[in-house]
Chains A and B, each alone.
Chain A
């Protein structure tokens, strides 16, 4: 399957803006949400927008607007969103801090989206996969009824990831679910989501 070309092009544009932001001395935004799931599953789901955590939304959006992103003149359009008319995807800043400050920022995944194998320097910051799994598990359990879509995503993210830190993952699941679940719960879910 692999990543769709529009997704890779979008990542490249986003990383370009983020690199400029970092060069200006600002804390770089971190990719979260469905687009992070798309990234960590090799393009198995298709996200319509890119959610970021950033404490520097105005500066981030200013960089994106230089790259062709727009704030459409449309009733109901909100200040937290931009879109790219040609690539037809949106960008939202959903929060100012990653997982309300509960994620270990040292574990943020750096993904170099530069085109060639010898090229470097276009780096995207992505939520650690352990935190994304914990987030999906918390959403699954918070749903009334239980959300099987989020359960499935948590399981597949776990299965497809290399180098998971089990201790950290367990800790993050317990925190995000208010103690309702743990790594053991995820192991049970693995059995129920087996193909």
Chain B
């Protein structure tokens, strides 16, 4: 039976993922690969470039890898 439309608290989801990671022995921060960025749409590139430039203007680093 499929459990549908059940609401999960964000912290419950986080805890469930941590359980799975422990079970699978996944550790570190490199086992999920980020998008290569190669196939981004022009709109997406423009958006990410704007965010990166605004971040630089504020003297901050963008929160994402600079692939746009």
Contact = CB atoms under 8 A, between A and B. Distances in A.
B51 A195 contact: no
B31 A48 contact: no
A80 B43 contact: yes
Interface in B45-67: 46-48, 50-51, 54-55, 58, 60, 62-65
Interface residues of B, number: 44
Nearest to A47: B64
Interface residues of A, number: 60
A48 B51 contact: yes
Given A83-B51, A152-B33, A159 B24 contact: yes
Contact of A195 (B3, B17, B31, B63): B31
Given A44-B32, A92-B43, A162 B10 contact: no
Nearest to A81: B47
Contact of A160 (B9, B21, B54, B62): B21
Contacts of B62: 48, 88
A2 interface: yes
A184 interface: no
Interface of B: 2-11, 13-14, 16-21, 24-26, 29, 31-36, 39, 43-44, 46-48, 50-51, 54-55, 58, 60, 62-65
5 contacts: A8-B10, A48-B48, A81-B47, A162-B20, A195-B25
Given A2-B14, A90-B47, A168-B2, 16 more contacts: A45-B32, A45-B35, A46-B65, A49-B47, A49-B51, A77-B50, A83-B54, A88-B58, A106-B4, A110-B6, A112-B8, A143-B39, A150-B35, A153-B33, A160-B26, A195-B25
Interface of A: 1-4, 6, 8, 11, 34, 37, 39-42, 44-49, 72, 74, 76-78, 80-81, 83, 85, 88-90, 92, 106-114, 117, 123, 139, 143, 147-150, 152-153, 156, 159-163, 165, 168, 195
